[in-house]
Amino acid sequence: NAAALPVLGKTNMDEFAMGSSTEHSAYQITKNPLDHERIPGGSGGGSAAAVAANFAPIAIGTDTGGSIRQPASVTGTVGAKPTYGAVSRYGLIAMSSSLDQAGPCSTDVLSSAMLQELISGYDPKDSTSSKKPALSSYDSLVDAVAKAKSDLESGDLKSKKLRVGIISELNGGEGFEPEVAANFKKTCDDLKAAGIELELVDCPSFKYALAAYYIIMPSEVSSNLAKFDGMRFGVRVDADHVTDMMKATREYGFGDEVKRRIILGTYALSAGYYDAYYGTAQKVRTMIQRDLNDAFSKFDVLLSPTSPNVAFKFGSKTEDPLAMYMNDIATIPVNLAGIPAMSVPNGTGEAGLPTGVQVWANQFEDDKMYYFAELLELLNSSAN
């Protein structure tokens, strides 16, 4: 409002932000504007679809495990998850408090940079928001985008000695569609041709990231959603006794995916299992942070594909939660480490649908992420 940007509307999403396709919405599905038989990604499928369909120039989403970046990837738009704490979460409904982060999506990198700049900064109403700006090399995110453009145009990139790491575990191998892998390779080749040094970097802990996420996230979900008990928040189904009322309310008010995660989280946190599940997952989280710290001691940014596949058809993964969870294989380590990452379109794959490349930067180096994202956008547009 302060920026005089009118809010055009609220968009559809998976219930409580749980999903990768917007098929778990409590309302209806959202169609991918590029192919109406396919998903727009999730959970922020509505935001990405609104931008891809040109209903809105920019939109906001939240990203707990990839819900801004994966929808961007499958709709051919740009989406960024800022450093944890860079944007206030005041007013959001918490899904998994140690992972949730709001961020922008748009058709181009500059618009996302402008929107993040607008919504970021310390907020006394969110004690987890950071006082430190998410900048290391440039004065602003918009400045970083402008610098990328002038560096590329002046042919100045070689002298900058920029170092980019390609994550071996996410290098388009098993689980990635061949076209996604091929486009990723082409992006890397384009960067090399522009004078940027690329090298493989191992992050061995990443093979446990999805498993750790599906313990930590449901555990926090089970705690955060306990308040929807019919007493203070949300819908209420009346009954004669309070426990019956709570049971009936939660049975009626939550969808299947939400219930699945509450049950998982309650189990993982129960006495006797706590150490084996939650404790182990937290250790994995530390290992992921260490692998990334090591990587960022050598590289300015890291690259990987965003989504392992293009937009899939409605219904093709709803019966198989594990297949659905695999969509986030390349986005989840980012949330577990609290670092920023964003998705930029890098070509088309199966059925002519868009694929995305993901730029990873170190904590509070969102400016470097935008710098590289702009380079990728420019290289991609000159390739087409």
Site residues (vs ligand GLN, CB under 6 A): 17-20, 43, 62-67, 95, 217, 328
Query: Nearest distance from residue 66's CB to ligand GLN, in Å?
Result: 5
Query: Nearest distance from residue 257's CB to ligand GLN, in Å?
Result: 8
Report the b/e string of 329-356 with b at 16+ CB within 10 A: bbbbbbbbbbbbbbbbbbbbbeeebbbb
Q: Running DSSP on this structure, what letter comes out for residue 205? A: G
Minimum CB distance to ligand GLN smaller for 46 or for 347: 46
Instruction: Give the Cα separation of 116 and 59 in Å (integer).
Output: 11
DSSP string spanning 323-334? HHHGGGTTTHHH
Query: Nearest distance from residue 101's CB to ligand GLN, in Å?
Result: 9
Minimum CB distance to ligand GLN smaller for 18 or for 181: 18
Minimum CB distance to ligand GLN smaller for 44 or for 345: 44
Minimum CB distance to ligand GLN smaller for 70 or for 129: 70
Minimum CB distance to ligand GLN smaller for 217 or for 281: 217
Query: Nearest distance from residue 356's CB to ligand GLN, in Å?
Result: 15
Instruction: Give the Cα separation of 156 and 264 in Å (integer).
Output: 52
Query: Nearest distance from residue 270's CB to ligand GLN, in Å?
Result: 21
Instruction: Give the Cα separation of 194 and 231 in Å (integer).
Output: 60
Query: Nearest distance from residue 63's CB to ligand GLN, in Å?
Result: 5
Dihedral, CA of residue 312, residue 361, residue 334 and residue 91, to nearest 10: -90
Query: How many H-runs (helices) and E-runs (strands) does the chain carry?
Result: 14, 8
Phi-psi region of 230 (alpha: psi -120 to 50; beta: other; left: phi over 0): left
Minimum CB distance to ligand GLN smaller for 51 or for 95: 95
Polymer length in residues for the chain: 384
Minimum CB distance to ligand GLN smaller for 68 or for 303: 68
Query: Nearest distance from residue 236's CB to ligand GLN, in Å?
Result: 26
- For residues 306 and 356, the answer to whether their CB atoms sit within 8 Å is yes
Number of residue whose CB is nearest ligand GLN: 67
